[in-house]
Structures are given as structure tokens and as C-alpha cells.
Amino acid sequence: MHVYTASIATTTILTPAVQNLNVKMSWTDNLYSYIIKININFIKSILYLTYNIPYNCGKKVKIIMKKIIFHIDVNSAYLSWTAIKLLRDGSETDLRKIPAIVGGDMSKRHGVVLAKSIAAARYGIRTGEPITDALRKCANLTIVPPEHHYYSQCSRQLLDLLHHYTSAISQYSIDECFAEYVPIPGDNGDPVRAAHMIKDTIRDRLGFTVNIGISTNRLLAKMASDFEKPDKVHTLFPEEVPVKMWPLPVRDLFMVGRASAAKLELLGIKTIGDLAKMDPALIEAHLKSHGRTIWEYANGIESVHIDERAKTDTSNKGIGNSTTLSADVTTEEAARKVLLELSESVAGRLRKAGFLAGMVSVEIRYNTFENVSHQMQLLSPSQATQVIYEAAGQLFHELWNGTPVRLLGIRTSKLSDCQVRQMNLFDYVRNDKQEKLDQALDSIRQKYGSKAIMRGSFLEEKRPPKATPYD
């Protein structure tokens, strides 16, 4: 139990005869209430050290506990899950213990690295780089293809196990989630002890390891889980930020990409601490609203949950998805299938957030790592999957130069409230019909699962890897 998670007020009389105390915590601003068992020695320590009050003086005590968040992240998820499957199928080699990667087409020896073992990382192999480059770094590299359907099964197993500990779970991606800490039998009210128990249970029952980050908000919990790996538990409470987070390179901060890091370094900002101590107005002047966001993050401030920011910031930034392909796309037909899936994801997020998109853009990253993009204005704002897909398809056709494609992305911008719209007669008839169909499909998927209804074109082909949302 951490003293910094508790504050003292008035309520329950302490006596020497009490060995354990059930303390009921009440609702306060952004605080959750629990009934937890706290050892009397812990309470005595707080009273004496903080207030210099003897524990038997008859003072009334109330413990108010801030909500504690876990971020649970599977270590090298794709590679770990593939390794477990191969071991169960009779393989004598554990991919996690040798230089190995998941990605691309092993027979054709092309594509990108989707996941790597720790042993592969020692050779300088990076996630997202071409497999040909990885092979130059390590000639004896083992390459295995991804199995996305199987990965989804592993993800569900993890979530099912976690629901035994808490019902307050929010999935962030296929291999990571947030969970609200609730005391469990045997943890003595200590979230760190609970995290170790959960981590060990996942390893023993499911066969793979996770890192668990602990804090009072999601941002810091996620940052904590990225500390030393694998199979570790780390805390990053607000008072630990200067020591544990500020010395890190600024590129390690959540939401600081290569472009942002480059701009910050031009300003002389090399560490997260440098950013935290800067005038936020200066950062905002160079990086606009994103600058304010990352400045807050550098100071451990999460004014909006990181997995909810898309919904709150979309009016200024937009909604988009991108996907790095396991194998290069070389035909427009194959690219259009990826664009269709991306369009479904983006349009679904628009409908969920209650926005219409007035602009659609497409991003292409070639296997040469050259990035190109193009955008177009819609005749009328829309959240219909078909409208976004047709625009994306047209943009791709105009933009693509025939070079093999490594990444595809769709982004929508110029967002407006779906309650307020203007459109011409022809667009109204078309959009209204399509959006009613989309809403019906959304309802079915929400009730029966995302795979309850699938497009026929997806059934004959291997589905592309998961898309990564960006806003």
C-alpha cells in the first residue's frame, strides 16, 4: 500500500484492540469508493508520521483512495503468441529465446517486421523495418508469418482472465488494455502485490508474459508498462514522474512521434523533463494543440483519457486509421480491399463520435519508405462507409505510382456535428440510405460482435493486420 494514495480525514475510531479495520471510502471529485481491509499498522504509521497523532488518541479517520489504474501490455505479443502455438504443436524451439520475427512472407522473404524477439532486438532489428534489412543484420533470423485470427483468440483469453479480477476493463488494442484496480484476495490492499499476482497468473495459465504499469491515470500507467521488460511490474505515480519519466528521451513520451520529436529537438528539448519545464505557450506555438497535449503528458497530466481523446479532439484533428501490411501490396485490387476495411473502421468511429467528415485523405508508404498523401473535399459531409471508401479509392488511383505499398492510411477531417448538415438533394437520398444501413450494421455488431456481419470480399482473403487509429 502506498501512502501517497491515501489522505486522512475524520470517520472511524481506532483502538489498540482492532487488528484489522474495514474502511468505507466515499465519492469525491474523480475518486472511486471502495471498502478495503487495511492493516492497523499502516493506519498508525500515517497518523504518526503525517499528523504526529498517536493511534489510540480517539481521533476519527477516513481513508480516501484515488482510483488506481493498471495498464496490461503483452510482451512481444505476436511473437509470444506464435511461439506458444508452435510449442503446443510440437515444436522444440521457443521463438522467444532465439533471433526471430513475425512478418511478411517467409518464402518470398519480403514484407516488414511486425514483432521481434529480445534476441532479435540485440541485432538492432526494429519493428516496422523491411525483412530484407533484418536479414542483413542477422543471417540466421527465423521468420514466421502472422496468424491474426489466432492472435484475436489469445487477446480474448487475456480479457476473460482479467474479468475474474475486475469488471472495469477497457481494451486499448489487441495486446493491451486498462483495468481499474480492485482489491483481490491475498493482496492486503496493495495494488503492486495485486499486479504481481495477476501477472504471474497470466504467465502460468496462458503461457505468455505481460508488463503491468500502475498509476492514478491511464497515461502514466501506460508509460510505466513500457519500462524494463519483460514480465515486470512498474509504478509511475505523479510524485515519481520527475525521477522515473523526466530523464527519458522526449521521443519516448506517449504521442510524440518522429516529426514532433524532431521539432522539439530543434527547440533544444531532448528529454521529457525538458519538455515539462518549457513554457506551454511556446510548445503550442510550434506544435499547435498537439503541443499543449504533449506538454500536459510530460507533466503527468491526463486531462482526457488517452483512449478517449480521439472523441474529444476530433473536431480539430480528425479521425483516421492506418495499417502496416504484413506483405507489400502490388495491385490496386488488393489495395482497395485494405482501403475498404479501413473505411469501415473510420466510418464506424465517425458514427460513434457523432461526426460527419467533409474531407478524406489517403496516405501511402511505399516499400522504399517514401510517404505520399492526397486529399479531396466531399460534395457533402458524410459518415457513410461507402462514401468514404469511394473517395479513398479515387485518391489511391490518382496517387499510386505502381511501387509496392507497405502502409495504407485513411484520414477524415473538417468534421462537423451530425445533427447539423447541409447537402444537395442527390447526396441526401444517397447518404441517408447508406447511413441507415451502416447504423443497422453497427447495431448488429454491437449486440452480437464485430464479426457477426462481414463483407463477402473479406471471406476469401486473409484479413490485413489490425489498423492503428490516429487522430
Catalytic residues: 176
Cell, residue 112: 516488414
Q: Looking at residue 467, what DSSP letter applies?
A: P
Question: Cell 458524410, residue?
Answer: 382
User: With contact defined as beta carbons under 8 Å apart, do 436 and 292 qualify?
Assistant: no
Calpha distance 25→155 (Å, rounded) = 34
Burial class of residue 417, CB neighbours in 10 A (0-12, 13-18, 19+): exposed
How many other CB atoms are there within 10 angstroms of residue 360's CB atom? 28
Q: Which of 250, 248, 247, 246 is nearest to 259 (CA)?
A: 250
The Cα–Cα gap between 356 and 318 comes to: 10
Angle of helix 280-298 versus helix 258-266 axis, rounded to 10: 130
Distances (CA, A) of 445 to 80, 442, 452: 29, 5, 6
Q: Secondary structure of 105-134 in the HEC alphabet?
A: ECCCCECECCEECHHHHCCCCCCCCEHHHH
The residue among 72, 48, 343 whose CA lies nearest residue 194 is 72
| Nearest-angstrom CA–CA distance, 72 and 167 | 14
Closest by alpha carbon to 284, among 299, 294, 276? 294
499528523: which residue's cell?
A: 51
- Give, in order, the Cα–Cα distances in Å from 85 to each of 150, 198, 205, 330, 464: 9, 22, 14, 30, 20
Strand partners, 116: 101
